[in-house]
Structure 1
Amino acid sequence: MSEENHFGSEPYYSLKSAAQKIFEVIAQRLDVQTTYITMKGENSMTVLSSLNKQEEIVPEGFTIDYEESHCRLIINDQDHILRTNNLMEDKLTREMEASALLQVKGYLGVTLKDLKGNVFGTLCVMDKEEKNFNQEDIEFLQTIASVLSHMIELDQTHYNMGLMNAPIIPITDGVSVLPIQGIVDAGRAEKLMGDVLRYGKEQDIDYFVLDLSGLVVRDQFFSEMLPKLIHALQVMGIDTMLTGITPEIAQKEIEANVLTQTKPKTVPNLQTALSTIGFKLVESH
């Protein structure tokens, strides 16, 4: 998988809503009891949405270790499919934990991707009875997966648009905090750069504290845009301080060594940052 799904299952409203309507069509067309979509995490697969026509075999929210899941076989397969008429007897699946948990026979699954080609998860169907799925069935499920890819893109776009306008928080004259959250792609990075530099000039900022605790690291932003932003602020005479350094960010810095030239000061939290500048946070009673 090229990218992990960093913002959890809740923002995928469009995908889940569309899936529930499409599941009925899939179940009728393929004559199966259960249809579901999974989402791939770092080490696990989670059922994002499901339809169980009779007994509940796969509940929404069900999570299983990636290595023990049928989804791993689907995603790693050259054709990105898994087809068997009996999970309990197939040599690839009969010893797997997921097969023991599900206790089903007929199974067909295809990889679900976003529009950029990144693996999102899987779209699967299964039944208590043996099912001989043919090539036409596979192509049908792959077509449905392609349709759902647009829902994934829609949800991801809505999520990132919500983070597009990074809130610059003024602390006092000459001091502001910029929380950088979520995934920063090229478009958002360019806007972020323009907004921050313009704000720094208009508000006569002396210190900018960049809070990275909510940043989802992507190589392009971390290795290119963040150093450029810091350097541009320094050229304008604005001191930059980094806080909220996560273990992931620290590891990326060790690997890429991208902040060496700009050498921004790093502190563990906002209170320390303000104290370093010369301010104190005072609790109100």
Structure 2
Amino acid sequence: MDETIGHSNYDSVIEVSNKLFKLVSNKLGVNTAYIARKENEQIKIVNAFNEKETILSKDAEIDYYESSCKKVFESDQEYTTVENLMTNPTTQDQVASREWHVRGFMGVKLKSMNGDIFGTLCVMDYAEKHFSEEDVEFLKTIAEVLSYIIELDETFADIELLSVPIIPIRSGLAILALQGNINKSRGKKILEDTLNYALDQRINYFVIDLSQIKYSDTNFAVLLHSLISALRLMGVKVMLSGVPVQLAHEHLIRDQLVKLDVAYVKTIEAALMKIGYVLKDVSADKE
């Protein structure tokens, strides 16, 4: 089984673990607590907490075979404890012992509801540590909470990647109604799907509505510029509607928009009317 966490920003698990790590450190009397994941032959630190001296930092990467997490991943049990990494024959040559001089260690597996391994939740300290059964159960409980949060993060990431809201209006005309936060991975999905749709459906006009955007990523300016430029190269006429005030105030976005030769309107309805497509009031006909 590939013991690798899926692709997600893990914003929620980082936020939650920031609050839990201090509790873990105090309860177990350890300097460092961290979440790690396995990516190919590397261990990447998703998040870390150090009470006093810094042993590990967020986003650090360690060779899998050099890491203490290897023992946790390959154990038949849900957890692994080592009183002294520096004297244990299976860990004394690893980086935590050789370079960091860490002794006390405990790690538990982070698992999804179907049993797949996300990664590990580990603690370590410079002093020898004898962890009790109560300590083990405590860390396992924290791991269950974090596993649930990680799974939610991955679910939301999958939903975002699948969410490219293209609305066909009629032959040659469609609306791209962008909503929520757009990070780099979702932006790539939007760019690819929109261009493919424009090509497959022979779109002549694309209205890109930004009224529901929650801008939080500097890559959005680049995405918007790339998307509009590519559509124009394909012969598609682009119109932007509903540019939010907060978006217009961002200098990166504003500078990119100024460079583009596109029409701007307040609403989708105004965009359609400008193209020559009139929305009909069905209720008026019924009267």
Q: Same fold (TM over 0.5)?
A: yes
Q: CA deviation at 1:2?
A: 4.3
AA at the equivalent of 1:164: L
Q: State the match for 2:34 in structure 1.
A: 36
Q: CA deviation at 1:140?
A: 1.2
Kindly indicate whether the alpha-carbon contact (under 8 Å) linking 2:3 and 2:38 is maintained by their aligned counterparts in 1: no
The share of aligned pairs that are identical, in percent, is: 36
What is the aligned residue count?
195
Query: Aligned ranges for residues 137-216 of structure 1 at < 5 Å?
Result: 137-166=135-164
Q: Compared with structure 1, are the counterparts of its residues 125 and 4 closer, same or farther at alpha carbon in structure 2 (3 Å cutoff)?
A: closer
- Give the unaligned 5+ runs of structure 1: 184-199, 208-278
AA at the equivalent of 2:144: S
Q: Using the alignment, how far apart are the partners of 1:21 and 1:124 within structure 2?
A: 16
Q: State the match for 2:63 in structure 1.
A: 65
- Ranges of 4+ aligned residues in structure 1 off by more than 6 Å: 173-176
CA RMSD of aligned residues (A): 3.7
Q: State the match for 1:19 in structure 2.
A: 17
Q: CA deviation at 1:163?
A: 1.8
Q: Deviations over 1:146-176 (max 9, x none)?
A: 1111110111121111122245699xx7799
Q: State the match for 1:245 in structure 2.
A: none
Q: Compared with structure 1, are the counterparts of its residues 2 and 174 closer, same or farther at alpha carbon in structure 2 (3 Å cutoff)?
A: farther
SS at match of 1:104: coil
Q: Using the alignment, how far apart are the partners of 1:113 and 1:125 within structure 2?
A: 17
Query: Aligned ranges for residues 188-267 of structure 1 at < 5 Å?
Result: none
Kindly indicate whether the alpha-carbon contact (under 8 Å) linking 2:50 and 2:56 is maintained by their aligned counterparts in 1: yes
Q: Using the alignment, how far apart are the partners of 1:206 and 1:15 within structure 2?
A: 40
SS at match of 1:59: coil
Kindly indicate whether the alpha-carbon contact (under 8 Å) linking 1:15 and 1:148 is maintained by their aligned counterparts in 2: yes
AA at the equivalent of 1:53: E
Q: State the match for 1:5 in structure 2.
A: 5
Structure whose alpha-carbon radius of gyration is higher:
2
Q: Deviations over 1:171-194 (max 9, x none)?
A: xx7799xxxx989xxxxxxxxxxx
Q: Compared with structure 1, are the counterparts of its residues 206 and 12 closer, same or farther at alpha carbon in structure 2 (3 Å cutoff)?
A: closer
Q: State the match for 2:109 in structure 1.
A: 111
Q: CA deviation at 1:25?
A: 1.1
Q: Using the alignment, how far apart are the partners of 1:116 and 1:164 within structure 2?
A: 22
Q: Which moved more, 1:112-121 or 1:145-154?
A: 112-121
AA at the equivalent of 2:93: E
TM-score w.r.t. the length of structure 1 is 0.58
Q: CA deviation at 1:97?
A: 3.0
- Give the unaligned 5+ runs of structure 2: 175-183, 187-196, 203-233, 237-259, 262-287
Query: Aligned ranges for residues 60-139 of structure 1 at < 5 Å?
Result: 60-139=58-137
